[in-house]
Structure 1
Amino acid sequence: MNSSKYLLALFIGVPLLFYSFIVIFPLFFTIYISLTVWEGVGEPIFVGLQNYVKLFQDQMFYSSLVNNLTIFVAEIAFRLTISFFLALLIYEKIKGWQIFRNIFFLPTVMSMAIIGMMWRLILDPISGPLNEFGRYIGWSWLAQAQWLYDKYLALPTVIFVGLWRWIGFTMVIFLGGLQTLNPEFFDAAKIDGASWLKIVRHIVIPLLTPIFALNFILLWSHSMKIFDIIWVMTAKGYGPLETTSVLTTYLFVNAFRFKQFGYASAIATILLAITSVVGVIQLRFWSRRERV
């Protein structure tokens, strides 16, 4: 009996200790550092809420947050919608559906370094094929477009590349949800004369409410934590006139370029709070809607 208790304590204690080491300790350490001035070496100097006061007066922080929210809105409007209808088409087993599924999912498994290099070559204003095509057909606006260097084009361009990369991932999640539905629902609706759009609106979407909730939370989390594509494709996270800066790149620059680890930790703490609170609200909203 005692050996069973020791074994149970071992199986529970070791994972809990590991979780505490990699999650709980860094979390509380980050919160502590956010209350200090620290350059990464030496003793942190406690300054209370000074970093947070500075943060809420920092225009760059708000600009970065707006960019995060812009990315989220774009992902809801385009990534969620397009991936849902692609999943519907593949679920209907259109001709060549397996090839289309693999093609759309392929960018998801590609390295961000490869994707960034590929799209930087495609979008190069001097030798890129997209601008060359504009010169060939005589479209000056396309030939002269500075995709990653224009303050009005940089963020939309990065958003487009992000959509291109991740639409396949969201599509597969929707496809998995569709494959769990009972085909008899669709057969009965077709017998009653329901159109394809009515089947989607009144049967598919209500039944896939948990899948939509999952994708909403994933898109929110991804939009707030996005880093690699911004850093790789623009000028190390800032882009022209800092128009592509998001919270993670602003955090990174403050920590590792300016050595302001206290200020960067304050950004990280606020980012965690925003992501967690909105994620919980979304989850509760969708759970309540599902019960109704």
Structure 2
Amino acid sequence: MTAAVPSAPAPAPSGSRRRRRRSGFATALPFLAPALLAYAVFVVAPMFESVRLSFFEWTGFVGAPQEFVGLKNYIKIFTQDAVFWTALRNTVIWVVLSLIIPLTISLALAVALNRPLFGRNVFRSMFYIPGVLASIAVANMWRWIYNPNYGVGESLGTAFGLPWLSDIQWLGDQKIALYSVFAAFVWQSVGTNMVLFLAGLQAVQSEHIEAARIDGANAWQVFRNVTLPALRPTMVIVTVLTFIGSIKVFDLIVGMTGGGPAQQTQVLALWSYQQSLGNHQYGMGNAIATVLLLITLLIVVPYLAWTARQEER
């Protein structure tokens, strides 16, 4: 007589799953309420106020009237503000470079420092320290490095007999100033991303790596077919954080060039600030900020939706 094989339990109805999710959210809501309230007051409300002000003309002074002008501010920034297009171009360049150079360096450092290595923790700390420094401190440090009178370029030019190196105006040349500032951004950001990648590498199963090596895979094949797929959730987080951090870059440029020379390092976040607080054109400044918000949402939200669909497959 054969024993009856127990049947697999039937999946719970979708309605019961939805009820469990609702009950779980209701249970967690009291704990989330303080953080949600702070987020609503200090993030959501100012964001909506910024969008509202983009439809008004206002000098920003207390008691000054706010005149509703509709889409006039948006028309101005797109048709009459040449600096806006320079700032938009520089922002796009900055974002594209940020998604390529720092991420590549951070991933390479994480993979290298995830292996048994003498002094590994010391190297990890050295690369991570710039990420905890204030951006304005990093800006002042790199301004000293780029100083044409006593900076690194002057020292290297004198030491190696390369006078042309001493003559380079790293922050004064319109063609290279943006990339000189970007070098400071790379130096500051690679350490933080490296730590995130290191955390993601801990999820890679060593058994999978050993199995791939036994099958004859070389180091590149193991990385491409085993390590990189396991890093996909971490890659999503790092990519989104890098994109958001790069599209709203502000402190480094303020501290190093202030948008100069001749507005060639101007970016949207800084131009929005200068229009609002420097030129007292809060309407145009908030219109630029709203454009920046829309660009962010149009890129981040579809990217997160696409990655969510990839995870479900």
1:271 is matched with 292
What do residues 114-166 of structure 1 show as CA deviations (whole Å, max 9, x unaligned)?
Answer: 22222111110111132221133122321111011111111111111100011
Once the two structures are superposed, the pairs formed by residues 235-246 of structure 1 within 5 Å of their partners are 236=258, 238-246=259-267
Residue 11 of structure 1 deviates from its aligned partner by 6.4
Which of 57, 62, 70 is 1:48 aligned to? 70
Residue 196 of structure 1 deviates from its aligned partner by 0.8
Sort the Cα spacing of 1:15 and 1:111 in 2 relative to 1 into closer, same or farther, 3 A: closer
Rounded Cα–Cα distance in structure 1 between residues aligned with 2:94 and 2:161? 32
What do residues 194-227 of structure 1 show as CA deviations (whole Å, max 9, x unaligned)?
Answer: 1111100111111111111111111110111110
Which of 33, 45, 48 is 2:53 aligned to? 33
1:163 matched to 2:186 = yes
Q: What are the ranges of 5 or more consecutive residues in structure 1 without an aligned counterpart?
A: 1-7
What do residues 28-63 of structure 1 show as CA deviations (whole Å, max 9, x unaligned)?
Answer: 211111111000121201111100111111221121
Residue 12 of structure 1 deviates from its aligned partner by 6.9
Once the two structures are superposed, the pairs formed by residues 1-292 of structure 1 within 5 Å of their partners are 16-41=36-61, 42-57=64-79, 58-234=81-257, 236=258, 238-292=259-313
Q: Secondary structure at the match of 1:215?
A: helix
Rounded Cα–Cα distance in structure 2 between residues aligned with 1:212 and 1:180? 13
Residue 15 of structure 1 deviates from its aligned partner by 5.2
- Which stretch shifts more, 9-18 or 142-151? 9-18
Q: What are the ranges of 5 or more consecutive residues in structure 2 without an aligned counterpart?
A: 1-27
- The amino acid across from 1:27 in the alignment is M
- Which stretch shifts more, 12-21 or 190-199? 12-21
Sort the Cα spacing of 1:197 and 1:251 in 2 relative to 1 into closer, same or farther, 3 A: same
- Work out the number of aligned pairs and report it: 284
Rounded Cα–Cα distance in structure 1 between residues aligned with 2:152 and 2:38? 50
What do residues 219-278 of structure 1 show as CA deviations (whole Å, max 9, x unaligned)?
Answer: 1101111100010011x2x12111100001101110111100111011111111111120
Rounded Cα–Cα distance in structure 2 between residues aligned with 1:245 and 1:159? 12
Sort the Cα spacing of 1:161 and 1:10 in 2 relative to 1 into closer, same or farther, 3 A: closer
Contact 1:69 1:223 in 2 (8 A): no
The structure having more radius of gyration, on CA atoms, is 2
The CA RMSD measured in Å over matched residues stands at: 1.9
Rounded Cα–Cα distance in structure 1 between residues aligned with 2:32 and 2:98? 39
Contact 2:139 2:256 in 1 (8 A): yes
1:5 is matched with none
Q: Secondary structure at the match of 1:240?
A: coil
